[in-house]
Amino acid sequence: KDLAVKKLLFLGSGGSGKSTLFKQLRFLYGHGALPPGARRNNMLRMKDFIYVQMIDQMRLVLDNGIRQVKKGSVEHKHIKLSDAGEQAAQLLRSSKSKEVTEIIADALEVLWKEPAVKAVYDMRELVSPEIYYDSKYFWDNVKTISAKDYVPTIRDLRRVQPERPTVSAAVWANKDRLQYKDHIYAQIVEQMRLSLECIEILKEEEEEWKDIELTD
């Protein structure tokens, strides 16, 4: 078997293009060069980011969007959640889960069917610009994403958005707010890491991304 295997050794100094050459070979000749299960593992790493987007974005709809509607900050003052919607909203607000479990998925599904939530999403640029357009895609597919055997697809990856570093107004009003500086820095670093991972995976999977390179 070993005699039938062709092996290549890439030698060169740092920045000479060894990794780039390997990635181009992987792109041109498929996933045969990937270690067993590597592509699946790459995709599975993205699940947590998708979960965070689905949960946090719905919380933005509830806490920023619907709250402003209730205060009369925007039109459509008649918009409100149904009793089932209020129960689902309470569950989502109180949950500390970072995973779209079956219970969280049910709550998201109920909320996404609420006319009030749909209305706030449609008015997102007015009531809460932090609500991403692509979050709709994940809410539409909440049952698929909450399945235990779910593996993100390239289509999913193209829609996940890095979470913006945020701190609540209450924190900024605190005279000791500088203690939260490290928290903000950690978020910035984590989200940059996500962006770089997404770029690497897309370069491996999508032809239009293959020539994208970071500058020195």
29 and 131 assigned to the same domain = no
Residue type, 176: D
Question: Is-above-0.85 flag for pTM?
Answer: no
pLDDT digit string (tens) for the chain, length 216 residues: 677 777 778 787 766 777 667 666 665 555 555 565 666 777 787 888 899 999 999 998 888 777 666 665 555 656 788 999 999 999 999 998 889 999 999 999 999 999 989 988 988 887 777 888 899 999 999 999 999 999 988 788 778 875 544 444 444 445 454 555 565 566 566 666 666 766 666 666 666 666 667 676
26 and 103 assigned to the same domain = no
How far is Cα 113 from Cα 177, in angstroms, rounded to an integer? 38
16 and 104 assigned to the same domain = no
Assigned domain for 179 exists:
no
pLDDT value for 157: 79
8 and 69 assigned to the same domain = no
Which residue from 198, 213, 210, 178 is spatially nearest to 45, judged by alpha carbons?
A: 198
97 and 34 assigned to the same domain = no
Cα–Cα distances in angstroms (integers) from residue 161 to residues 48, 53, 64, 173, in the given order: 12, 7, 19, 28
75 and 156 assigned to the same domain = yes
24 and 108 assigned to the same domain = no
**Residue 153: CATH number of its domain:** 1.10.400.10
Assigned domain for 21 exists:
yes
pLDDT value for 165: 45
How far is Cα 82 from Cα 76, in angstroms, rounded to an integer? 15
10 and 64 assigned to the same domain = no
pLDDT value for 170: 45
50 and 19 assigned to the same domain = no
155 and 118 assigned to the same domain = yes
Assigned domain for 79 exists:
yes
Print the domain residue range for 18.
2-38
Assigned domain for 84 exists:
yes
pLDDT value for 206: 63
189: number of Cβ within 10 Å: 11
19 annotated to bind ligand: yes
Number of domains the chain is built from: 2
- Residues 6+ positions from 116 with CB-CB distance below 8 Å: 66, 69, 79, 80, 81, 85
Structure tokens, 90: 């309470």
Residue type, 66: I
